[in-house]
Structure 1
């Protein structure tokens, strides 16, 4: 059964003390875990929950006005398991139980009008739906036997979300026009693939039985990987590259990893299924995020090139894999790997350039080294570099303190809400503030919930440390630089991660209370609404400016990368810990690694819908149509700072697949342009530059601008050429007003009008950037954009202006 989506707001400051006292939560359980929808009210208790029925309401209630019965409305009541009927009780017995239960809880003065039970729930949740007055609902919510009460609302079906969040549909837009990218092959360079009993890689009846005729690759067998069994019309290629690894690390230990395309880690399987996994109904992790899991390009084919091993991903192997992918004739290369790049023309960059010059779109992750600046991976201009953003889905776990304060964290612990308070201690007083394994004093930790500081060891490891010391639960405090960002972890014991600000409040409570206690309530999957708004930039997503080429604005754009559900290896646990013996078909993880294959799938769709477009044109279409506002109508925010993000965080904005189908104008660049650029990096260029005119990164014909000023009145002149790809060959584009220009600058754009006709489908314009303020007025950088419009298309280019120290020299790189 698919999860349910409700467009309800979640308060942006839900983690603040006492706020939950004015908030109610709607729980819809699917399988073992609830889907939580948040409602704002003025009278309900801290935590509330509800369930959606699997069947329609009784016919007698059809079309009934909920407000007609003397102010009664439909509420969903989540009952603590101890007060629910025994599992397996007949429906009539359960209804009788809950009817008596409600009558006993309501005092005589609010017992009328009598509540009317609509449904009882035994599998999706423990609880019932009933028609109640607001006063009755508020009274029930205050009872210890009730986990939550919420007023019902309208809802609709959704998938495991990213395809819906990206507005991708098989019946319209980009997916329909590209036929789902049936003939496209996406190369995934990663940790391999785990196809055993994974429906995400099962053959699709709708696909031809053989690979596309342009694909020349195939599958290689190895230990635990029989290519004849696992390769099909979905998985058309599987190879491994390990010579570089073995040269650096010595012979591979084949008792702990497979010298084959088999993924023993999970990362590669996750990325491959995000890019092009087959649709799988009822997908979930331990009951979380239940829905239809499917790849961004669900009809595209997958070719995996295993280049990453337990010791890392080595250059020789990566380059060999890119080489093989080019020879095999893939359409897109997806690389969710990299390191902070301090030189531009490393071997991987050159290899990826040679892929791009063959018409292959190379998509790469920006890296997970944020929120600091200049932390980017994969910055060459021919790569489509992707940052990570959130969706409108969360996995809340709420900490309730003994004094009534409540704080919202995030967790994938598959347990029931804990109705009883337990002693709370700080790990600082138990031997290890960071909850390192083996360093906690069991005599102090046993039976208690332990608060651990963030950092030093992994979050999942902290839970194991607490468990080994006999603790009953763990609260992990996010690090200060993480801001509002917290990852959801599939803890082995009851546990949650709370933001740094919330952690400070909890620590203060422990320090000021003789006998501190708390409980952790788990409420599954929250979907919908604009509070907190989405998308937002993940704190960990790497940022610009680029160190080796600051004139190239990176990342190029952002895509969903926070808490993404996708296929997982059967050899690895959801936490990857040795102590975790669980095995799952799907896992939920976060990072630019997850954002990258989303864009890889979109690029495959666009390449098949627009086969004449070059990789640079595809990149341009995705960038100029990206959007910069969240679902609350504000500028996309940064989780690290809580402020609006700029182009060094989000590039051109959030990818909008369907809009990219018709961008109006595109910026193109080809082999000669990139070689001329490489010739400007003379020490690194592998080409003969004696007869070439070198150009800087800022001068490349890209749909974005990055410039650096030194002083008042300095001018920097750049030129761009655009191609009209819209249906109107006689289109006329005018440049927008100066309201989007970066503060501190004056922009002179000439001409201000681009007139196209049947014989002239490309036009060139010049833009002069002039500093109108002396250095020192801005501490970092300012940003803005220019927009060309014909009344139908709005072709937007982001601008980043860097303001160095007054003594710095003017540079255009």
Structure 2
């Protein structure tokens, strides 16, 4: 939670006490597991030098808006939150005069807006002038998994950065396999050590079916003495190995893994991707005495073409209102280093006295505060902008390309990602500060959206300020959102969409550029918009149809519409669903 004037911490627990009838972990605003500390420092942490995790990523770190003041509202207790506490936190933030809410909390994915606590709370916050930023969820890459899909919030997916934490596993056949790790320990590069598969190291009373997971009760410590243990599980689950005489741990994954988090054990450790996991298993199975060594972790910076979508990041289409594209944008959310509560021990360590002020975590919880911090900066630069104008600036300046100019890829498959993964694309803060034009929305626009979504005037009025009369003629397609999403477009038919642009820059003339696949026909009228002063508003109409020779195998088609004056590029993603699917 961000504010320019306040700093503090509050907690809300009446709902928890009523329904759980038990004592909380801490009857205070204190952070128990580090999640809140990590996200808050990502949004607005001060500049700190010498930040690292196990010596990796060493450098100066800061939050996205390091000069902001912060207020922390604790409403989640032991990974469980009650509606009463969450809504109380929203109302407190509103009363305290907070400007921006960063909410890295999961929502009810298939629950409609007025049955969803986060949706209701964020709508009240919006009505009071706050900008709300939400995480998109961590249930990808399955479609229809995106959460926090209300159009009055900014929904953020998670992507990689240009930094990697790697080490090498060198085998007895001289093959080197790259792994991921932040272990500060490595084995000698001049010596090889025996490899032992967990199933061969099982205890006498253990089941072979589960031994490969390397649970402490399933492994005989005598069998792994002086050897490198091979497991099919997260390295954090094998912290007990630190207390044995094993020399290292290698974790393997199967094709179902969506994210490979760096190994964090306090001994030489590596985690391999699916391709390298298969190679290592084949090597072990075909070699009489398999051997290997594990190098110390290394931080690699300025990785070429690094921008990929985290496979765990939840995907669209929007399960609640498919005519609104979600997520809106993506931001760094993979292997993010930020502050940690020192109550928690170093991840993977069995030494209770080892605490760390910094931690590396992946998730849309980590990408959300990046955008929240950007919103703070935009509010400071443009205090007269509405929350919708700020959101539009972030969306229309986002990019679907990586830093080499190629399309963003999926991290797990290396295939080209779509707007259902990244929305409009990866945020570009400098460009968002000067977008040229914005798609603005007022309160009545959102109320009309709810009418078109299917809510009655009385239902809306119960959550607004009295009775609201729904308009007789309002198409949701004309909701002035920065993206254009059309569902169930029939062959031989066309649909017209109207949008309104507001000039927030100098007087300028904009022309339109359209990029769509061959199966889609898009026309725009007018094709030139002239803005004579700041605040000028201009309407344009978009007509979309499908060509007769459409590819029947495709469910969705993706493109973009860009207004440009040579300096600004105001880009809106276009998503069209084929009615035959």
TM, length-normalised to structure 1:
0.66
Quick one: which of 240, 259, 263 aligns to 2:31? 263
Partner of 1:746: 521
Matches within 5 A, 1:10-49: none
Residues 1:696 and 1:376: Cα distance change in structure 2 (over 3 Å)? farther
Partner of 2:538: 763
Distance 1:576 1:757 in 2: 61
3-state DSSP of counterpart to 2:217: coil
Distance 2:253 2:311 in 1: 11
Quick one: which of 340, 345, 359 aligns to 2:129? 359
1:781 is aligned to 2:556: yes
Q: 1:481 Cα deviation (Å)?
A: 3.7
Matches within 5 A, 1:256-655: 257-339=25-107, 341-345=109-113, 346-419=116-189, 420-429=191-200, 430=202, 431=208, 432-454=211-233, 458-461=234-237, 463-467=238-242, 471-482=246-257, 485-530=259-304, 533-575=305-347, 581-655=353-427
Greater alpha carbon shift after TM alignment, 502-511 vs 435-444? 435-444
1:252 is aligned to 2:23: yes
Q: 1:780 Cα deviation (Å)?
A: 3.9
Confirm or deny: 8 A CA contact 1:677 1:694 kept in the other structure.
no
What do the CA deviations read for 1:214-263 (whole angstroms, capped 9, x no partner)? x5xxxxxxxxxxxxxxxxxxxx121001222223322224xxx2111111
Contiguous gaps of at least 5 residues in structure 2: 203-207, 462-466
Q: 1:622 Cα deviation (Å)?
A: 0.7
3-state DSSP of counterpart to 2:216: coil
Distance 2:550 2:315 in 1: 23
Confirm or deny: 8 A CA contact 2:167 2:294 kept in the other structure.
yes
Matches within 5 A, 1:132-143: none
Confirm or deny: 8 A CA contact 1:714 1:770 kept in the other structure.
yes
Distance 2:320 2:477 in 1: 12
Distance 1:696 1:563 in 2: 42
How many residues in Structure 1 have an aligned counterpart in Structure 2?
Answer: 563
Residues 1:280 and 1:514: Cα distance change in structure 2 (over 3 Å)? same
Greater alpha carbon shift after TM alignment, 518-527 vs 646-655? 518-527
Confirm or deny: 8 A CA contact 1:389 1:538 kept in the other structure.
yes
Q: 1:713 Cα deviation (Å)?
A: 2.2
Confirm or deny: 8 A CA contact 1:622 1:657 kept in the other structure.
yes
3-state DSSP of counterpart to 1:783: strand
Q: 1:607 Cα deviation (Å)?
A: 0.6
Confirm or deny: 8 A CA contact 1:552 1:697 kept in the other structure.
no
Greater alpha carbon shift after TM alignment, 648-657 vs 778-787? 778-787
Contiguous gaps of at least 5 residues in structure 1: 1-184, 188-210, 216-235, 809-813
3-state DSSP of counterpart to 2:325: coil
Confirm or deny: 8 A CA contact 1:776 1:803 kept in the other structure.
no
Q: 1:710 Cα deviation (Å)?
A: 4.8
Q: 1:599 Cα deviation (Å)?
A: 0.8
Distance 2:251 2:49 in 1: 33
3-state DSSP of counterpart to 2:30: coil
Q: 1:628 Cα deviation (Å)?
A: 2.0
Residues 1:342 and 1:451: Cα distance change in structure 2 (over 3 Å)? same
What do the CA deviations read for 1:693-727 (whole angstroms, capped 9, x no partner)? 47565432111112223532232222111101111
Partner of 1:95: none
Distance 2:473 2:75 in 1: 34
Confirm or deny: 8 A CA contact 1:551 1:696 kept in the other structure.
no
Q: 1:482 Cα deviation (Å)?
A: 3.9
Partner of 2:9: 238
Q: 1:529 Cα deviation (Å)?
A: 3.5
3-state DSSP of counterpart to 2:542: strand
Residues 1:382 and 1:479: Cα distance change in structure 2 (over 3 Å)? farther
3-state DSSP of counterpart to 2:510: strand
Partner of 2:205: none
Distance 1:435 1:379 in 2: 39
Confirm or deny: 8 A CA contact 2:184 2:267 kept in the other structure.
no
3-state DSSP of counterpart to 1:305: strand
What is the RMSD of the two structures over their aligned residues, measured on CA atoms?
2.2
3-state DSSP of counterpart to 2:295: strand
Distance 1:760 1:566 in 2: 39
Residues 1:742 and 1:381: Cα distance change in structure 2 (over 3 Å)? farther
Distance 2:537 2:44 in 1: 34
Distance 1:434 1:672 in 2: 55
3-state DSSP of counterpart to 2:346: coil
Distance 2:244 2:143 in 1: 39
Structure with the greater alpha carbon radius of gyration: 1
Confirm or deny: 8 A CA contact 1:274 1:294 kept in the other structure.
yes
3-state DSSP of counterpart to 1:480: coil
Distance 2:254 2:492 in 1: 42
Distance 2:157 2:518 in 1: 25
Confirm or deny: 8 A CA contact 1:186 1:333 kept in the other structure.
yes
